[in-house]
Structure formats: structure tokens, C-alpha cells
Structure 1
Amino acid sequence: MVGPSREMTVVRIPLKSAKHHFGVSLSRGSRPYNEDTFQAGTIEIPAFAKRRPMSLTRNPNGAIQNEVTPADSASGDPQVFYFGVFDGHGGSECSGFLREQLHTYLEKATKLFELESSLKAKGRAERNRGWPSSLDEKESAGVEPKASGREVLDSIKVHTPSGVEPIKPPKPGTSDKPPAGGAHDEAAPIDSAPTVQQSESIRRAEELERCLVRDWKELVGGYFRRFKPEYFSMSAGGRGHSTEKDVISKRNAPNSSIADDAVEGIGIETVLQYTFLKADYDFVSAQVGKQEEDPVLADRAINDDDILGHPSRTGKNIGGPKRFKGGSTCSIVLISTPTPSPFWHPASPSSLVTAHVGDTRALLCNTATGLAVPLTSNHHPSLPEEAARLRRYATAFVTDSFGEERVSGLANTRAFGDMASKRIGVSAEPEIRRVELSPAEYSFLVLISDGVSGHLSDQEIVDIVKEARTPEQAARDVTSYATEVSADADNATTLVVRLGGWERRSEGGLGSLGTKELRDWRRNEAENPRGRMM
């Protein structure tokens, strides 16, 4: 907290009961059952936020500022919050598995990779770029001022209403540098922040990554024979850790030695990629080990596959008793703070990391401009990057009756499960972004399934949330509006999380009036279906 304040204690409150900080709403739409699931809570992993410099944590007289007493995790760090939305297709077995197990895979992976807290490791703060303590430090480091609202607005199209220039999602693995030009310059993408080093156990990480890549090659083959995960080590078959690339480039440079700050290391991004691929491998391999249900198998004892000592843990039961050929998309968000102040406090900075596969979406609302900032891309065959990735393996892309491109009958080119399409590259390799949130820079976070984003633009979703009094009400309003205006409503899920700028959510730009006329027209059309036939 900035400035002197009264001492207070953060009390543990069940997140799903805190309607002023978190809200979620689900609807099955016109479908016979709901295949969407969600998860929200705290997980036991080391903090990954960037450490604040001492000049921001001490008063001018040298005394440490009063801060709230944290509800610390077992590791002693401020709690890391976890939010996720999972959209199943072909059934709810895969989305249910992700809801119950994905966060457990992440907790186990952080231990396997020996991840350490980014807040307590000696010397790690000096190696982590970011959080300049003054304007002079920013200028000396070559950090340019943040882009204005108009510069942020000038980017490519991603689910935006007509007449509005869309915003491009951040690019993974690149530094956050806005353009230095004026308001009419070319697109201003919001790039992903650099990786924070949390573990120096490179050899152990390489062995884990090499084993997982080898398992995929043996189980599936095809696309995975030349599989190069983005955040895996080069020696493990990947494209290289971001810090590993710096070390190799400096090592190969003539007449130069590796600098002190060029230390090999990995961060939460590598662990997230391993988590997604490992969870997908376990799910798919469990389905391979099953056989189609028949009367003889159905007549077996109910505990026939039980493991001695663990009667409820049977690897073959992942995804249900029968072979499950469907899958699920996934978008998860992790939020970590460098101080004990909670991430929704107006004066608290935080670090946000997203991991995403499929067409579920994550959005931020910029407090100053009121604009929707997308954190994910829809992994469809129409996305150029995905088309280039799959074209050498997929037999063909086909167009359905709605004009949408599909690969092997699937609209998503990345997903968990979908065992029949793994050989042509429908993998669970996540698209990972890291965003450093300044105090009150963003008003709220929204995670949605395609039952919402398929009918509404990003800006419409954000504007509906602005009009609600609490995140819980906002989630209900977005879901109900999406199902109301769609002729064939799909499963719809909306998850809204309050951030530091929540109280100022209607101040930026046009507030919620930017899309009000369009939303009113949509509602009138839905209430008067005969009008569309005239």
C-alpha cells in the first residue's frame, strides 16, 4: 500500500462467495446439457510476480511502509490466484477432468521443476527486468512511455464491432515496447512481458521435457515427431527457453563473455507448457488404454481396476469408464502480487499470466480508455499462424455450411483430448502471455466461452460488465444477454474478476455507451423475430 495507513489483516473469504470480487454464470443455452466448466481459487505455487525495487517499498525517511498483513500461502508468499474456463465438446468428460485436475498438475510441475519464489531468491531481482523505480531509471533503461488510448486502439481485428479499429492480442516471448510514433501510426500490439527466472535447474528441466516429448512421439507420432514446444529447451526438442537464447547468443558472440545478468533459467511459462502437455498426454493415453464398452466388460466388478492402497485412483478411469473421443478448450489466468496487498487493491501492482488453447477467451478492460484488451487468440484454421503450423500435416481444410473452416471436422486447431486428430497437430500446446499490471491500470478481467464470444464482440462484453454493480451481477448479465440475442444458443460461461480499477470502470472513453445502440438493436431483434422476415 502507498503511504501511511491503518494496519489491517486480509481475511480468508471463500472466493466463490465474494460477489464483490468475483462472479461466474453458466447457461446451457438451447443445448440438452452443459459441457462448460470453470474453476476459481488459490493454488500452492511460488510467486512469479516481479519484485518491486526498494525505492517503492520504503518511505523517504528510510522506514518501511505499513502494509496489510497477508493471508500467506504455505510457501510464505502472497497467494497466487487461479481462474479457468473450460469448454468441452463431444461431452463433459474432458472439461470435467481439467476442472478437477489441471491445477493439481500445475502444483506438481512447479515442484518437479524446482521453481522458486521470484520475491525471495537472492540476486534474482537484479536479473529480472522491469519495475523501474523512477522516471530517470526508465529513461536510462530505454523504456518508452506507454501508448495512449488511440495508439492502443490502432491494431488488427479481433471480435470488435463495426466502425471500431480492433486491438491485437499480445505476442508471446517479446518485450513490452509501445510504438514511439504518433496517434496515427500503425498497429500497436500489447506485447507479452519478458520471462522472470525462477529456477536454475536447467538439466532437470531438460530431462523432464525430453521425456515428455519422447512419450508424445511414441504414443501419437505424426505431428509430434517434429514437435518443437516454444518454451522447452533446445536440447529437449523445443525452441529454447527465452533466457537460454540470450545465453547462447552471447556465448557464440566473438570476443565476448557471458555477462553476469545472462544466467540460464526458466520461469512459470515453461512450467505451464509442461503442465498442459502432460495433462493432455495423461488424458489421451488413458483413452487409448480403454476399449469400447460391451456387455462382457460392463459385467465386471466395479473395483476390478482398483489400485491396491488407492481404491479411488485408477488411471484408466480418466475421462469416464468408456473411451472418450471428444475434447475441451481451456483458458486459465494466474495472478501474483509482489506485495501482501491483494491484486484488487487500487494501489497494488500484480503480474498476470494466461495459458490458452482453443476459442475460449480472456479479456481485460483498460481503465483509462475503457477499451477491451484481448489476451488470447481463437485457435481456428482461419488464423494464419495456425494454418501454417498444420498445413504440412492436415490432409485438407474444409468449409462447413456456416462458412467456417474446419480441420478433421473440428473448429479448434488446439485442444485437450480429440485423440483422433492428434496426429495432424491438434495439440494442447498453450499460447502463453505475461502482462505486468500497474496499480489500477485495468478495471476487470473477463473469461468467456465461445457461447458468449461467438455472438458478442469483445467491446460489447466489456461494456455490459461496466453497467453492473458487482462482478457477480456482471457475469449474469453477460451470459443472459448472449443467450437472449442468439438464435441457437450454445453453452455460455462468463467469469468476471475485479481488478484495481473497478471503481473507475465507466470513466474511460465512452464508458458503456460505445456499444449501447448496437446492443439495444440486438435485443429488439431478438424480441421481435418476425421483423427479420419482413
Structure 2
Amino acid sequence: MSGVRTLHTLRPTAGRHHSGARSVSVRNFNTYFVTHLPSSSLHPDSRSSSGPGHKLPRSASTPHTPGPGASAAVVPPNIPSRDLTVVRIPLRSAKHHYGAANSRGQRVYNEDAYQAGTIVIPAFARRPPISLVRNPTPKPSEGTSAKSSCGDPQVFYFGVFDGHGGSECSEFLRDELHGYIEETATEFSLQSSLQKEEKTGASSSQEDPIGSKAEPEDTLGGTEATSKTVQLESELLQEYRRTVGGYFRRFSPEYFSVPARSSVDDPVQGTPPPVTVESVLSYAFLRADLDFITAQARKPDPDDPHISDFPLNKDEILGSPHLPPSGHGIGGPVRFKGGSTASIALVSTPTPSPFWHPASNSTLVVAHVGDTRVLLCETATGRPRPMTADHHPSSPTESRRLRRFADSLITDSFGEERIQGLANSRAFGDMQSKRIGVSAEPEITRVDMGPAEYSFLTLVSDGVSGTLSDQEIVDIIKEARTPEEAARQVIEFATEISSDGDNATCLVVRLGGWERRSEGGLGSLGTKEVRDARRAEALDPRRRGRR
């Protein structure tokens, strides 16, 4: 977690193009989470407990006092007689819950970046079954998650960003993307999926039978708020049309409520669909990308000093510099023409039980651009479940999307299609390729995770996924004692056998089935022979010169 900056600054209203009053709030992203722990004087440390203890790091915890506007900590109803302490625990210190490792490989610079923490947005988890409402699951020794300032259980955020051409864009996403998501959720008036029933006065026992399959109701209430969302989306599409053009003249994001041809002065007919976390993520990704490329377009071009003397440029991306949620500048003093991929995972729980508890239900939402990868490991089978698909020009869906505009699709010496030399057809930045369809529109996937249904979640850059198969990645993680050790072992193995020495990053997040991660299928033995052979080949001095 070194180099990660926590954002607590106000975002200025200047520099944004959408009209109307904007709510300016303090950024609340934190690299720690807040939890209840039994006081050591009354209850032993969870590290000494038998069974599947969760080993929260008491030595790294600090007392937590809710800030202005934050909800007071609520004592869990199942242990009212216990003396509990509300503490902050840095994720980087919770090695039994989260681990991260990266390496620059054989490259001169490390252009990868990653982020992890808690993000302040309303909950989007499915409402809990009646059994969980009546019988809270956490035990005193396992900790109970405290509420966020929204009044909901904390939403966890994990992200991996793989830069190309430099680290300016990946570092921008590491430091700012979560702020765009928080700001968009506020501007769209995203409603909690858990608090609606409290407002209507309906009881969970009447609306949610056990095993209910109803969709999460993270919807937007009120015609006025809905109109504002439509207006913001329309303005963003107009900005893309005006400043980028090309592909974006007919651009129609999947989760937007307005068609591509709509304008601010031409309201959408009918009732727009309700706002969901998917529409918030889609807008935040696109807003961040447009802010980044317009900021770069007005900077001097180090490769062409003559062009940089003029207010317009040959990239045909115009506009004025923007300020990200932190209020800081975007990138360096000169124009950055590279870009970055991005894969983020948000985890929301319907109850105070933390998502890593074996009896906890939770909801995972993954937003993905490029070829970084997100995997779940199924507890019952031991197999990986890919949550992302690489956005390469050769994939059928991306090829159909691009061929109307990208007349420069070429095949390199390895037989892989590229668009103007880029391996990814979706990315942040890459300002010179935006007009032909290199978009930051995320592909979004939602999964409702049952108790201990999955063992762990992992996010990797292509320095790992380009070298190891999905099954090899999860098998290496199964053999480790902690997520921290697992992330380190994945990176060590990937860099050891890599043929190109690319930057490699791996995040491992504990889920409810962690203690049973080796029970499904063949455990970690399914790929052990293959991995041993690959390591032996990589270490063979006779073959080393051929790599």
C-alpha cells in the first residue's frame, strides 16, 4: 500500500462542464476499515481462538471516533453484554484478509498501480434473508463490521490498473477513480438497497422470504433526482461528441438512461430506468476518462514543440483542463499520450457481518476496462470463475464494435490484432486513439455470493494473467497460508517463468470459504506438475538464453 494517498480534500466546482448545482462533499475513501472488537480485558484475542478464526490484527488497530455526519457505532444485537471497542484496521496490515504484491519484472519502470480500501456509497447488496435478520451470525471473537457514514455496512473497494506508455494514467486512476465513483453516487442520488423497506415501513419478513431472488433495489427515488441524472448523462455524451467526435458521435453506453442522439435541450421521452450502481460506475469511468484526456490535450507536446504553440492540436481533442475529485492536477507538466487498463471490485454486505465471514452473504460488482483480470475461486469445485473478459481487438464483440471506425486494425508478428498499435480496445487515456473507438466504458458484472460459496477473490495485471492460466493462479493461492503470502507467491512464480518480464501485480481478498479453499476438486494439485515443469524449464541454464 505504499504510495497510496487517502483523499480528504474538497473538490472545487470549477472545471466541470455539467450545469446545475453540484453537491460538494468531503471524500471519504479510506485505506482502513472500521470494525468492532471485544475488549482484550474481557475476551481473548481471536488469534488464540480455535476453529476458523479470522485473526484481526489488534496490534495494528487504532481507536475510531466517527467524524461529523457519520453514524455512531452500533453494538451488535447478538452480543449486547460484551464490552466492544470500535477500531480502525489498515487493510495492508490485515494479512489474513487481504494481500497485495507487485514487481516491475524486467522492465525499467513499474507502470502498474493498485488500490484497496472502503468507499462511501450506499449499499447495493441484496436484502438479507429473514434468517439472517433474526439471527445475526457474527461471533464475539470474529468482529462485526461497523456502519459507514451512509448508515449502511461498509462497501469495500479493490482495484488494479496497468499503465502503458508511462505510469501517469494508472496513478491517476489509483488516486482518483474511487473519488469519481463517490461523487457520481452523490450526484445521481443513488439509494441504498437496504434502507428502502425502513422508509416504507414494511418488514423484511413480509417482503423477503428465505431464498428470495429479487434484484437489489439500489434505485433512485423522485422525479427531480431522475431528471438530474438524465441531464448529467446527456451533458457527458454531448461533451464526448464535441471534444472527441468520431466513434463517440453515435456512442450509447449500456447503462445510461439516454440514447446517443439525445441532447440537454431534447428531453428523453418516457420514464427512464432507475439508477443502479452499474449506471454510477459507467458514468464515473467515462467522466474520469474524459477529464484525463482533455487535461492532456491542453498541455505542451514534447514530441512536437511547433504544434504545442497553438491552442488547438492535431489530436482534435479540445476542451479545458479539469480537476479530479481531490482537486489536484491531472498528470505531469507535458502531454501524456499513453493510457491504462482498470479492473475494480466492489463488495457490499446486507448485514453487519463482514464479507469474509463463513456465514455471510454479500454482493460483488466488477467494472472492467482492458486486460487486467478478476477471478473468483469456487469453494465446491476449486475452479476459477472469471469475472472479466480481455478487451482485445481480436475478440468478436470488440471487433464488431470497432470495425466501423477503426480502419487501422493490424496484425502484429505474434498474430495478435492491434488498433493503432494498442493491444487493448478499451482503456483510459490513449488520446490519439479515442476517435476510432478506444473507450473507457466499463464491462460490469454482478454476482450474489452465498455463505462460503467462494474461497477468495483475486485481481491481477496481464503480467500475471499473460503468463499463468486462471487455474494456475488460483492453485498457487490455495497453497498459501494467508492472502498476503498468496499474492507474493503468485508474483514470484509469474516473474520467475515469464518470457517477457512484464510488470506484475496481484491482489488477493479473503472470502467466506477461505478455510476450505483446498477441499474442492483436486485442491492445488490440479496444476502442480505443470507448474513444477515450468519452473524447472525456467531455471534450466541451457534454456535460459532462448527466452
* TM-score range normalised by the length of the shorter chain: 0.7 to 0.9
2:280 maps to 1:271: yes
Of 362, 365, 369 in structure 1, the residue corresponding to residue 374 of structure 2 is 362
Of 490, 505, 513 in structure 1, the residue corresponding to residue 525 of structure 2 is 513
User: Displacement, 1:87?
Assistant: 0.2
Answer whether contact 1:10 1:69 (CA < 8 A) is retained. no
Q: Deviations over 1:448-494 (max 9, x none)?
A: 00000001000000000000000011000000100100122100000
Answer whether contact 2:257 2:273 (CA < 8 A) is retained. no
Q: Deviations over 1:267-302 (max 9, x none)?
A: 10000000000000000000111122569x99xxxx
**Alpha carbons of structure 1 residues 66 and 326: separation in structure 2 relative to 1, 3 Å:** closer
- Provide the rounded CA distance (Å) in 1 between the counterparts of 2:106 and 2:488: 17
Q: Secondary structure at the match of 1:514?
A: helix
2:237 maps to 1:213: yes
Question: Map of 1:54-93 to 2, 5 A cutoff?
Answer: 54-58=130-134, 69-93=144-168
User: Displacement, 1:530?
Assistant: 1.4
- Provide the rounded CA distance (Å) in 2 between the counterparts of 1:20 and 1:412: 34
Q: Deviations over 1:236-278 (max 9, x none)?
A: 659xxxxx99x97xxxxxxxxxxxxxx9411100000000000
**Alpha carbons of structure 1 residues 505 and 217: separation in structure 2 relative to 1, 3 Å:** same
Answer whether contact 1:199 1:265 (CA < 8 A) is retained. yes
Answer whether contact 1:210 1:237 (CA < 8 A) is retained. no
- Provide the rounded CA distance (Å) in 2 between the counterparts of 1:87 and 1:10: 36
Q: Identical aligned pairs, as a percentage?
A: 62
Answer whether contact 2:144 2:354 (CA < 8 A) is retained. no
TM-score computed with the length of structure 2 as normaliser = 0.75
Q: Secondary structure at the match of 2:88?
A: coil
Of 418, 425, 443 in structure 1, the residue corresponding to residue 455 of structure 2 is 443
User: Displacement, 1:197?
Assistant: 3.3
RMSD (Å), alpha carbons: 3.1
2:446 maps to 1:401: no
Q: Secondary structure at the match of 2:184?
A: helix
Of 287, 292, 304 in structure 2, the residue corresponding to residue 283 of structure 1 is 292
For these two proteins, the number of residue pairs brought into alignment is: 439
Q: Secondary structure at the match of 1:319?
A: coil
Counterpart of 2:218 in structure 1 is 197
2:60 maps to 1:36: no
Counterpart of 2:395 in structure 1 is 383
2:59 maps to 1:47: no
Of 157, 170, 173 in structure 2, the residue corresponding to residue 95 of structure 1 is 170
- Provide the rounded CA distance (Å) in 2 between the counterparts of 1:486 and 1:111: 43
User: Displacement, 1:381?
Assistant: 1.1
The one-letter code sitting in structure 2 at the alignment partner of 1:265 is: P
Unaligned runs of 5+ in 1: 142-193, 239-243, 249-262, 299-306
Counterpart of 1:223 in structure 2 is 247
**Alpha carbons of structure 1 residues 286 and 513: separation in structure 2 relative to 1, 3 Å:** same
The one-letter code sitting in structure 1 at the alignment partner of 2:441 is: E
- Provide the rounded CA distance (Å) in 2 between the counterparts of 1:38 and 1:500: 23
Question: Map of 1:23-422 to 2, 5 A cutoff?
Answer: 23-58=99-134, 69-122=144-197, 133-134=209-210, 196-200=217-221, 201-235=225-259, 237=261, 264-293=273-302, 313=327, 317-422=329-434
Counterpart of 1:425 in structure 2 is 437
**Alpha carbons of structure 1 residues 66 and 90: separation in structure 2 relative to 1, 3 Å:** closer
Answer whether contact 2:129 2:210 (CA < 8 A) is retained. no
User: Displacement, 1:319?
Assistant: 1.5
- Provide the rounded CA distance (Å) in 1 between the counterparts of 2:285 and 2:540: 45
Of 488, 498, 506 in structure 2, the residue corresponding to residue 486 of structure 1 is 498
**Alpha carbons of structure 1 residues 199 and 125: separation in structure 2 relative to 1, 3 Å:** farther
Moved more, 48-57 or 439-448: 48-57
Q: Deviations over 1:155-198 (max 9, x none)?
A: xxxxxxxxxxxxxxxxxxxxxxxxxxxxxxxxxxxxxxx56432
TM-score computed with the length of structure 1 as normaliser = 0.76
- Provide the rounded CA distance (Å) in 1 between the counterparts of 2:425 and 2:518: 36
Counterpart of 1:472 in structure 2 is 484
Q: Deviations over 1:78-104 (max 9, x none)?
A: 111000000000000000000000001
Answer whether contact 2:458 2:508 (CA < 8 A) is retained. yes
User: Displacement, 1:531?
Assistant: 4.6
Q: Secondary structure at the match of 1:376?
A: coil
Counterpart of 2:93 in structure 1 is 17
User: Displacement, 1:398?
Assistant: 1.0
- Provide the rounded CA distance (Å) in 2 between the counterparts of 1:350 and 1:344: 9
Unaligned runs of 5+ in 2: 1-75, 263-267, 310-320
User: Displacement, 1:405?
Assistant: 1.1
- Provide the rounded CA distance (Å) in 2 between the counterparts of 1:127 and 1:401: 63
**Alpha carbons of structure 1 residues 409 and 289: separation in structure 2 relative to 1, 3 Å:** same
**Alpha carbons of structure 1 residues 341 and 408: separation in structure 2 relative to 1, 3 Å:** same
**Alpha carbons of structure 1 residues 125 and 49: separation in structure 2 relative to 1, 3 Å:** farther
Answer whether contact 1:45 1:107 (CA < 8 A) is retained. yes
Answer whether contact 1:23 1:471 (CA < 8 A) is retained. yes
The one-letter code sitting in structure 2 at the alignment partner of 1:104 is: G
- Provide the rounded CA distance (Å) in 2 between the counterparts of 1:65 and 1:409: 53
- Provide the rounded CA distance (Å) in 2 between the counterparts of 1:383 and 1:195: 31
